[in-house]
Amino acid sequence: MKPKIVLKRIIHRGQTRLAVAFAYDRMIIDLLRESINVTWSNTYNLWYADDSEDNLRKVILHFKDIADVDISEISLPSAKETIKVLPENKVENNENPTPVPAEKAHITRSSNKYGPVEFTIDEADDKLIIKFTGRYNPEWIGELKSFGKVWFDNKRMEYVLNWSRLAVDSLSDYFSSEGVEVIVKKNKVAPVVQDSRVEQGNDIRQRELDDETMAGIENVRRHLINKRYSIKTAESYISQITLFFKYFLPKQPADLTEEDISDFFNDYVLFNKYSASYQNQIISGIKIYFQLNGMPRIDSSALGRPRKKKSLPKVLSKDEVKSLLNSARNTKHKLLLWIIYSCGLRRSEVTNIKMTDLDRKRGVLNIMEAKGKVDRFVPVSGKVWEKIDEYVESYHPSYWLFEGQTGGKYSVESVYRVFKQALKNAGIKKDVGVHCLRHSYATHLHENGLDIRYIQELLGHKSSRTTEIYTHVSRRNLIAVRSPIEDLDLS
């Protein structure tokens, strides 16, 4: 088993230092002294060196094959935080420090002044409820608002916003990076509603469909499998449309009307407080069934879906993007942000880039099996190629372009933290997430005059309607609009 080395940053004698913690090992001490100029700290019970990218790179490269190098704590402590070291052992001299287990030699806040944050997912209303159980930082409210409208419940002292997996994941990342514990739970359905669901659902599921209806449902199953839907998604569709048709027995699918379907949503879905996403999936299943089995009686386009919140994407100005991209602390983080913006990538797409996806001869980056299983390639500018060369020479990635320090691809959580730190370094106060770089890329392309159809291809959108939202935030046509105040004789 490889020895473990923990790297972190500490404040020592008024300066930021690169700390190296590990269980006592004579060989590691000798190798460490050979690689960088280190000093033993009696206060912290660990070795430290000047905090520089060069020192960090040397330690990682020197020990990556012989030790498990952990850099999960390699972040700069806030100046407002008090630093304390857990191990109590002292050392007699620099040559023979008392052995300290690596997992104990870490830095922690002397007291966490912020209490845990509770996330409650309310499936019935598609809401995310957030409650600060202790003291909180007012800046956090701005982070919540970056995911849409936020309501505050004065009685329950809770913040409420529209639920989405992106909001839960991104906000969890954000609070965790702030050193705050996040507790995620689902809001329990009221017992009376749960009992109604079980009782009514069991009664419906015991009914038997005829062979013709079952054959139609099997057509839907084959269609979904051929369309490469996941097994879990396909089974969910089948389960829901089976229940839908059993609900109307003895009435047959061919005899159903739009009014029948409306009654089903009111008397079963809404009455039992199922979520809007549940209703949407049933509607999709019904449409597929009627289309595949030739039942023109139902106008599938008339099946209304729950209203969705429509909001414009948040973008940064070109000057803000410039400040952000220049504010990253090291070559790796800088290239990460450069590629996201210059190629219009999603967070998951940048972490999935393999070295073989870089096509230098054609000057493009191949994006393989992105969202919706759409492959595409995007041009890479000469400026970015130069930064890639600089990065590869320093970090020597083997398989993934961006790799974690212990191997494997970089995590999307790490991308989020890099972006948030760069945002802070650049002094940008806007409430935005990593995805705003992709939005900014598309908007800036449109402002530069690129046709929306080309932007659609670059972003990998299946429909141009998805891309057209960027015409609403582009300044290309707005700056030519003459204000009506110009026509008024004002003094």
Task: Tell me the one-letter amino acid at 408.
Answer: G
Helix, strand and coil percent figures for the chain, each rounded to 5: 45, 15, 40
Task: Tell me the one-letter amino acid at 421.
Answer: Q
Strands 182-186 and 117-122: parallel
Identify whether 106 is a catalytic site residue: no
Task: Give the CA diameter of the chain.
Answer: 89
Identify whether 410 is a catalytic site residue: no
Q: Which two tokens stand for residue 387?
A: 């930064």
Q: Which two tokens stand for residue 52?
A: 């520089």
Burial of 20 (0-12, 13-18, 19+ CB in 10 A): buried
Closest by CA to 112, choosing from 96, 132, 93, is 132
Strands 182-186 and 15-22: unpaired
Query: 128 - beta bridge partners?
Result: 121, 161
Identify whether 461 is a catalytic site residue: yes
Distance from C-alpha of 264 to C-alpha of 259, rounded to nearest angstrom: 9
Task: Tell me the one-letter amino acid at 286.
Answer: I
Distance from C-alpha of 343 to C-alpha of 355, rounded to nearest angstrom: 16
Catalytic residue among 109, 221, 417, 435: 435
Identify whether 333 is a catalytic site residue: no
User: In Å, how far from its chain's centre is CA 27?
Assistant: 41
Q: Which two tokens stand for residue 182?
A: 């996040």
Catalytic residue among 333, 346, 439, 444: 346
Three-class DSSP category at 241: helix
Alpha helix positions (H), 373-411: 382-395
Task: Tell me the one-letter amino acid at 358.
Answer: L
Q: How far does the chain reach from its first CA to its final CA, in angstroms?
A: 81
Distance from C-alpha of 437 to C-alpha of 316, rounded to nearest angstrom: 7
Distance from C-alpha of 441 to C-alpha of 461, rounded to nearest angstrom: 14
Identify whether 446 is a catalytic site residue: no
Distance from C-alpha of 159 to C-alpha of 58, rounded to nearest angstrom: 46
Edge-to-edge strand list for the sheet holding 364-367:
358-359, 364-367, 376-379
Catalytic residue among 332, 438, 439, 444: 438
Three-class DSSP category at 245: helix
Identify whether 470 is a catalytic site residue: yes
Catalytic residue among 371, 383, 424, 430: 371
Three-class DSSP category at 112: coil
Catalytic residue among 62, 333, 439, 461: 461
Cβ-based neighbours of 350, under 8 Å, separated by 6 or more:
336, 339, 340, 402, 415
**Residue positions annotated with a catalytic role:** 346, 371, 435, 438, 461, 470
